[in-house]
Amino acid sequence: MTWSLEGPDQQEIWRILRTLNQAWVNGQPEQIANFLHPDAVFVGPDLQKRMQGREACVASYKEFCRQATIHNFSESEPAIDVCGNTAVAIYRFEIDYEMNQQTFQETGRDLFVFTREAGEWRAVWRTILGLA
């Protein structure tokens, strides 16, 4: 396992994450379905709320995009471990958005688990850590 983005798998996963983020930030959350496993699970920052299945996970992004106006989103400090056909990716994010006439500025870390099937990496699990 490695903590660098030097390997082709790490680079591909980072590309997937950045493309996934660009999709929802640009108001096209339905495109993230291309990067999710059919049985993907998203767990809320409190580790209580749980969405299971690609459609439910995409719906969570659609709902956020419907309610929020995103002013800025950036990701940094990626760390991706690959072991066989499993990968864990974590990165820092910053987001500024408006929702219900309120402005929010949040930072945290997005944590994704990927699996490789038929040569393609797909996200199978996600949560947010350290949301502030």
- pLDDT 10s digits, 26-65: 999 999 999 999 999 999 887 788 999 999 999 999 999 9
Does the pLDDT value for residue 1 go beyond 90? no
Q: Which two tokens stand for residue 77?
A: 């400090």
Helical packing angle, 8-25 and 54-67, nearest 10°: 50
- pLDDT 10s digits, 95-127: 999 999 999 999 999 999 999 999 999 999 999
Task: Domain ranges for the chain, please list them.
Answer: 8-129
Sheet arrangement for strand 86-99: 50-52, 36-43, 120-129, 102-117, 86-99, 68-83
Question: Which of 60, 28, 26 lies closest to 128 in space, CA to CA?
Answer: 60
Does the pLDDT value for residue 5 go beyond 80? no
Give the CATH architecture of domain 8-129: Roll (3.10)
pLDDT for res 48: 80
pLDDT for res 4: 58
Does the pLDDT value for residue 130 go beyond 70? yes
pLDDT for res 30: 96
Does the pLDDT value for residue 80 go beyond 80? yes
